Structures are given as structure tokens and as C-alpha cells.
Amino acid sequence: MEITSHIHAFGSVLGFVCAMVSCTLMLRLKTDDQIRKRARTARRIAPVTWCAFIILIISGIMLSLDLGGINIYVLIAKHVLVAILLVDALFIHFRYFPRFFKQIGTPDFKKTYTTMRRIGTLSVSCWFIILVLSVLLDRIS
């Protein structure tokens, strides 16, 4: 279980870092060229974030098989945040990223950009809280 715990921690940190980098790239965009360049980079980071998320899910399931002494309330909170993170990621990648690139330079772009920034902030917040809860879960158990 110790190896699984390390893999779980790796997935959590990798996902958080990727989410932070993507979110940071998408902040304070000024020109259309800058928007296209940074958004493409953020989009390239997305597969790594998805891999981290999959690592987090699989290792989390493996860790959940041995619940001896785990604080169930912290575990439930983590699971709720992971579910929110999944919905958030699905919205970003399948609904807003396609719109984002089509709307660059149009009047609707600002609305989509604002929504993506909010969703990205929620994503980073979820990743951060999941990291904190993971540490707490290890300490409380």
C-alpha cells in the first residue's frame, strides 16, 4: 500500500501543477496572437492533467480497498471534490475549449474567456484542496 500511496501523491501533485500552469497561462491575455499561443500550450498540457487524474482515481480506488483507520468524512470530502473536478474538466475540455478557439476575435469571446477563467479557478482550487485533504488523511489515520 505504501507504493500506491506514493503513486497517489504523485498523481495529485502532477495534476495540481498542470492545472496551475494551464490556469496561469490563461490569465491576463491581451492580444489574439497571445491568446492563441497560450491556449494551445494549455491545451497541450491537458493530456498530462488527464493522466494525473486517471492515476489519482486508480490509486485512490486501490487505497480505498484497505480502509482500516481512515477518517471516512475526509475520504468522502475528497471523493466529492474529485467528482467536482471531473465535471469541471469535462466542461473545460469538451465544451469551452472548442468554443474558445472559434470565438477568438468575436464579441462572444469575452464571455467564454471569463467562464473558462472561473472554471479554471475552480479546478485549481479543487486540486489544491484534494492535496491538503490527502495530507490530512495520512496524518489523521
DSSP state of 1: -
Using a CB cutoff of 8 Å and minimum separation of 24, what contacts does 31-39 make?
32/104, 32/105, 35/104, 36/101, 36/104, 39/97, 39/100, 39/101
Rounded-to-integer distance, Cα 52 and Cα 94, Å? 18
Report pLDDT digits (tens) over 3-13.
Answer: 988 898 899 88
- Asked: is 2-140 a CATH 1.20.120 domain? The reply is yes
Instruction: Tell whether the model's pLDDT for residue 14 goes beyond 90.
Output: yes
Q: What is the pLDDT of residue 52?
A: 92
| Rounded (5°) CA angle 36-41-43 | 90
Question: Kindly report the CA angle at 68 between 6 and 71, in degrees rounded to 5?
Answer: 80
**Out of 63-67, 90-94, 108-112, least confident range:** 63-67
Per-residue pLDDT tens for 18-45?
988 988 887 777 777 888 888 888 888 9
**How much of the chain exceeds pLDDT 70, in percent?**
96
Hey, where are the domains in the chain? 2-140
Q: How far is residue 110's CA from residue 125's CA, in Å, rounded to a whole number?
A: 22
Position 131 scores a pLDDT of 85
Residues whose CB is less than 8 angstroms from the CB of residue 8 and which lie 6 or more positions away in sequence, other chains included: 55, 56, 59, 60, 63, 134
pLDDT tens-place string over residues 91-109 = 888 888 888 888 888 888 8
Examine the pLDDT at 133 and tell me if it is beyond 80: yes
The predicted pLDDT at position 141 comes to 58
Q: Of residues 130 and 51, which shows the higher confidence score?
A: 51
Higher pLDDT, 36 or 56: 56
Average pLDDT of the residues in 42-64:
89
DSSP-derived 3-state class of residue 28:
coil
